[in-house]
A = this chain, B = another copy of it.
């Protein structure tokens, strides 16, 4: 089976890292394809960038030339998953939700540790809409931008460990979700330093997507995610 893992920003090295991370937990026989949007920001840290990414991911996925079996939306707290579900017949898994639903099997409460303070409300809103917020103890910011995670991994680990400890000690989290598509490399160090299970959304999403495929299940088409009605759409697909 083939799973497309869509980065939400245009940074190719991050796409590669995300795809590698996905591959590390994929079943034998699962092909992971990293997808980089053709337009958008080099990192998504707010609503404008996230809305643009939503459309860019839909553009990239629907113009992918080969068949595929599932899609992972690999942006944490980003817009767009519902649109992909309308456009596609295969399962779509958002990493914010995958991390949360996985964490909920591991502890009574979980926290998310993300990048900048300004992305906290985006994640909170996604969890609220997903109906997965009730057992979320907190969403905390490390203060590091998305691209700093790559450029300064040591500082990234330190900042994320610090916030994870606060989440466990003050907010009573028992599990930590790494709140950014590009944090997978940090999983091991953060786990070692905190002693609680650490969930990376991309990896979690691979297991969820494989599970749905194994169950033979895909998006319900009776209402919210029905295929768009035929109508005149100007300028789509974009740039073509």
A binding-site residues for B, Cβ under 8 Å: 10, 25, 27, 38-43, 45-52, 54-56, 58, 79-80, 82-83, 85-87, 91, 93, 97, 101-102, 104-109, 117-118, 120-122, 125, 128-135, 145, 168, 172, 174-175, 195-197, 199, 203-204, 207-208, 210-212, 214-215, 217-220, 222-226, 228-229, 231-236, 238-239
Contacts and interface: CB of A to CB of B under 8 A. Distances in A.
B48 A107 contact: no
A69 to B, nearest CB: 14
A238 B234 CA distance: 13
A55 B52 contact: yes
Contacts of A215: 25, 102, 199, 203-204, 207
A212 B103 CA distance: 10
A239 B107 CA distance: 31
A218 to B, nearest CB: 7
A128 to B, nearest CB: 7
Given A43-B231, A86-B46, A145-B229, A168 B27 contact: no
B223 A121 contact: yes
Contact of A107 (B38, B106, B220): B220
Contact of A42 (B135, B174, B231): B231
